[in-house]
Amino acid sequence: MEDSVPTQTPDAPAAARNLPMKIVIADRLPPSAAALLRAEDWAVVERAGRPADTLAADLADAEGLIVRSATKVTADVLEAAPRLRVVARAGTGVDNVDLDAASARGVLVLNAPGANSVSVAEHACALMLALARSVARADAQMKAGVWDKAGLRGAELRGKTLGVVGVGRIGRELIRRAAAFDMNVVAYDPFIAEQVAADLGVALVTLDDLCAQSDFISLHLPSTDATRGLVGREFLVRCRRGVRILNTARGDLVDEAALIEALEAGQVGGAGLDVFQGEPTPDRALTGLPQVIATPHIAASTAEAQELVGVDAATSVREFLRSGIVRNAVNYPSAAPEEVKRLQPYVRLAERLGGILGQLARGRPHTVGLRYYGALADGSTEMLAGASLVGLFRHVLSSEATLVNARTVAAQRGLEVIESRSSRPRNFTGLLSLKLHTSAGELWAEGAVFEPDSPRLMRLDDVEVEVPLEGTLIVIRNDDRPGVIGEIGTILGRHGINIAAFALGRGAAGAVGVVRVESHLAQAQEVAIGAAVIEEIQRVPAVSSAAVVRL
């Protein structure tokens, strides 16, 4: 997590200079968004599609900037805006905003999450209906003068099973709409509590069970290391024959070559796709198949959604500049600058401890417990709690969880956060203990910060084991017996994996080993440390579990 400080400006704000506040709208927004800001008697400059030099000139005395996806808010753009206090993205993703540069300059970055959820969910329904009734093929035949009722027999959605992969805002909206079609719905989301699913009336299942049960599978996941290429050959072969795949989320969730093979073999009966690995799509190998209904990334492109995201972004800017109220922040920690500086090493520690537990967890999490020792027990701990949740969620939610919204994301997913403080000395200036309670049991990690600014793992479960929290780690649990280290070292050597450090700790329940790959080789070796390596380690008789953790 990059350093981030509360919003500050080099110059006095417009109100202090007795000038109207100036807001620049760089991309096309609905008139209602600008009207909302003009109602404050602020100067609003609207000019979509302007070149970079014109934008820089407009921003020279601006305090707010609102963009959609076309305008790139680069470090140079921010450099040209010395009085800028806030950037708002009318939409969810902020890939077009240089967050590091904005944070370094103290510029608050906001987005408008969730405003297009209904539009995307409805588009998924449209694709599902079109696939079930061969709407696109029927329309093409009619336009060609062909009347072929017999060849266009469809299927009802009633009684079919819909598998929803990812139960975020959009996934939930789709689940509600599927109920109106009398569909059975099963869902996979490892970071949703059972009670949240029960409130939605759906069963939470494993990904394998979802594949085996579903007639339709709809994807609603972010693009992360864990989700890219999720729908590949192994996924598709586990599906019920004739399954129909829907993707209105991210193009790189689907291995398009594998999907083409499965469509041509009849394993997949159809696909409704709004997003693709390359956009615009470079060829028609996939979109040209008769079993595929393709749309050009328009799921969120409705008049209502665009109205909502525009007004949402403008409202957030107005609330911040007028009253200092922060809504939908992406890069804003709730602490004074000096507190941020003091806590920053521990923020990294908290995030990495959360990352370890998030990657090691096998059950469904329902509670996160944080305990602060020593100096950490004094003062605000909000940043530490948020950072631990960011680390926990990172591998499933990507950038959706930030220091600001992490607690909200946890609450939405039914994850309870419990904090406690202890003045008991633990031989460290500050020690952080993080415990994750899941349906499969508990995971427990403790860490401290060593000089110079080095976060370290000090305990995993009930075993003391010290290792720097960086790079690629292999975490192994095994019986405490001779020869285990040698066997593991031999396996890694056979696969060409160099060991930077091998930390071993012993406890009453056994031993924990943590292998750290050499840092300069970690990136190349991430591919090498795959399922085959882990499976071979797990075949060592004394080893009970092994997993890769990337920090």
Cβ–Cβ under 8 Å, residues 6 and 106:
yes
- Tell me how far apart the alpha carbons of residues 300 and 117 are, in angstroms, rounded to a whole number: 8
Rounded to 5°, the CA angle 526-393-222 comes to 75
Residue of 176, 120, 181 lying closest to 155 (CA atoms): 181
Q: How many CB atoms lie within 10 A of CB 237?
A: 13
- DSSP-assigned letter for residue 44: E
- Tell me how far apart the alpha carbons of residues 295 and 280 are, in angstroms, rounded to a whole number: 11
- Tell me how far apart the alpha carbons of residues 304 and 309 are, in angstroms, rounded to a whole number: 9
- Active-site choice (50, 233, 297, 407): 297
Residue 63 appears among annotated catalytic residues: no
Residue 297 appears among annotated catalytic residues: yes
DSSP helix/strand/coil, 313:
helix
- DSSP-assigned letter for residue 160: P
- Active-site choice (2, 40, 264, 279): 279
HEC sequence for 165-185? ECCCHHHHHHHHHHHHCCCEE
Question: What's the token pair of residue 318?
Answer: 């107005």
Residue of 219, 174, 169 lying closest to 192 (CA atoms): 169
- Tell me how far apart the alpha carbons of residues 164 and 172 are, in angstroms, rounded to a whole number: 9
Residue at 391: amino acid letter: G
Give Cα 359 to chain centroid, integer Å: 14
φ, ψ at 185 (rounded to 5°): -120, 130
Question: What's the token pair of residue 295?
Answer: 């749309």
Cβ–Cβ under 8 Å, residues 551 and 356:
yes
Residue at 446: amino acid letter: E
Question: What's the token pair of residue 377?
Answer: 């027990």
Pairing of strands 463-468, 454-460: antiparallel
Q: How far is CA 70 from CA 52, 74, 88, 110, in A?
A: 12, 12, 13, 16
* 316 contacts: CB under 8 Å, gap ≥ 6: 88, 110, 112, 327, 328
Residue of 394, 387, 309, 386 lying closest to 351 (CA atoms): 387
* Residues 393-429 as b or e (16 or more Cβ within 10 Å = b): bbbbbbbbbbbbbbbebbebbbbebeeeeeeeeeebe
- Active-site choice (250, 364, 413, 459): 250
Cβ–Cβ under 8 Å, residues 281 and 259:
no
Active-site positions? 250, 279, 297
